Amino acid sequence: MTNQKRQIALLTGGGDCAGLNAVIRAVVKTATIEYQWDVLGIENGFEGLILPGKVRKLSIEDVRGILPRGGTILGTTNRANPFAYEEVLPNGEVKITDRSDDVLKRLDELNIDGLIVIGGDGSLHITHELIQKGLHAVGVPKTIDNDIQGTQITFGFDTALNTAMEALDKLQTTAESHHRVLILEVMGRNTGWIALKAGIAGGANVILIPEIPFTLQEVANKVNERRQENAKFSLIVVAEGAKPVGGSQVYQEMYASTGMRRLGGIGAVIESGLSQLIENEIRVTVLGHLQRGGSPTAFDRLLASRYGCMAVRLVAERKFGQMVALRDDQIISIPISEAVASQKFVPLNTDIIATALSLNISLGNTRQEIESMMG
């Protein structure tokens, strides 16, 4: 441990999730108390290093009481990529410029010795690119999607999972009363972690995830099979990124700066197709941003705190370019390059898929097809 006075900064980037404030608190407490460093908070992700007046000192008083609070006291955005920064000109035109050098210059002016980036896939990609240009940074993996490679779990996921499970518990009682088929569309981008785990925990009859393309006929078969067994309702969980065999994902819009498209609407598409194949009435609930809000679960508070403390230790050891990660209940560090190399999809050849199949949950395709996808 070193007692040398240093100044570090932290920012939260991308979509928010529960546990961000717990990381901020852990970083500020560890840096201030254990290392006697100053901590600067950057507002609204990387944008705070481009726009003026968005940097403030964070003291122990600033983080007092924020552990159970959802959101981020620093603010965030998923539209501020310094390599393709969007500005709206007075004539309404959108100008996209590379402001990455300005970000590095600003950190230099602020005399920042190490930057802690709390972010998901997008923010970690940006961090990785800035590291190639000389940035001293470490990463903390955040996202409800749990799609970051190299860590078993990202913080924020467990809270979202519980929210989705509670939604299913509530939908189940109304589905049963009305003999309806209720579809719950959950987030998760291109992966099915929330849908699969919430679906099993919440007693869903059909779970559709991007990793297993579905057919409407298979979904209808499950609903009809249940009717014959005198179960007159069914619960379907669909991940926003799920797609039919031979079909494509359903999108709402595209972000100009990142080129990333916003998923959403698959639940309604399934409702329309399924209504031709079954007799039950169908209703769709899109759980949306409820999954991102609220107070973190105990699991997320612990994970976020452990990640935050470890991130400061990495800065102390000058292990820049590393990201904190969870493996076998230990907090370790891995190169950010490894984390951003690919998305972490639900592996098909694991007990969680086997559990769903043993529970007679339909995964939207025939068992034979799924087993052949498992390899």
Site for ligand F6P in 189-208 (CB under 6 A): 189
- B/e letters for 122-161, b = 16+ CB within 10 Å, e = fewer, are bbbbbbbebbeeebbbbbbbbbbbbbbbbbebbbbbbbbb
Calpha distance 235→167 (Å, rounded) = 11
Size of the site for ligand F6P (CB under 6 A): 13
- B/e letters for 243-275, b = 16+ CB within 10 Å, e = fewer, are bbeeeebbeeeeeebbebeebbbbbebbbeebe
Report the length, in residues, of the chain: 375
Residue 187 is a binding residue for ligand F6P (CB under 6 A): yes
Residue from 43, 113, 145, 218 binding ligand F6P (CB under 6 A): 145
Residue 365 is a binding residue for ligand F6P (CB under 6 A): no
- Nearest CB to ligand F6P, comparing residues 289 and 318: 289
Residue from 64, 105, 262, 367 binding ligand F6P (CB under 6 A): 262
Site for ligand F6P in 308-337 (CB under 6 A): none
Residue 351 is among the residues annotated as catalytic for this protein = no
Residue from 31, 115, 263, 339 binding ligand F6P (CB under 6 A): 263
Interface characters, 240-259, with ligand F6P (x: CB under 6 A): x-------------------
3-state secondary structure of 201: helix
Residue from 25, 292, 301, 306 binding ligand F6P (CB under 6 A): 292
- Nearest CB to ligand F6P, comparing residues 39 and 187: 187
- Nearest CB to ligand F6P, comparing residues 262 and 367: 262
175: phi then psi, degrees, rounded to nearest 5: -60, -45
If residue 235 lies in a helix (H) or strand (E), which one and from where to where? Answer: strand 234-239
- Evaluate whether 152 touches 306 at the Cβ level (below 8 Å): no
Stretch that binds ligand F6P, among 48-56, 102-110, 140-148, 335-343 (CB under 6 A): 140-148
List 16, 145, 158, 300, catalytic entry: 145
From the CB of 205, what's the least distance to ligand F6P, in Å? 23
How far CA 211 is from CA of 69, 145, 278, 363, 365, in Å, comes to 33, 14, 25, 10, 11
The strand pair at 114-119 and 7-12 is best described as: parallel
Calpha distance 102→352 (Å, rounded) = 46
Question: E strands along 98-150, which residues?
Answer: 114-119, 137-141
CB-closest chain residue to ligand F6P? 187
- Nearest CB to ligand F6P, comparing residues 191 and 205: 191
Residue 305 is a binding residue for ligand F6P (CB under 6 A): no
Residue from 13, 48, 120, 199 binding ligand F6P (CB under 6 A): 120
- Nearest CB to ligand F6P, comparing residues 123 and 305: 123
- Nearest CB to ligand F6P, comparing residues 188 and 202: 188
- Nearest CB to ligand F6P, comparing residues 114 and 120: 120
**Which of these, 107, 125, 115, 119, lies nearest to 76 by C-alpha position?**
119
If residue 178 lies in a helix (H) or strand (E), which one and from where to where? Answer: helix 157-178
Residue 14, exposed/middle/buried by CB under 10 A (0-12, 13-18, 19+)? buried
- Interaction site with ligand F6P (CB under 6 A): 15, 78, 120, 143-145, 187-189, 240, 262-263, 292
Residues with a known catalytic role: 145
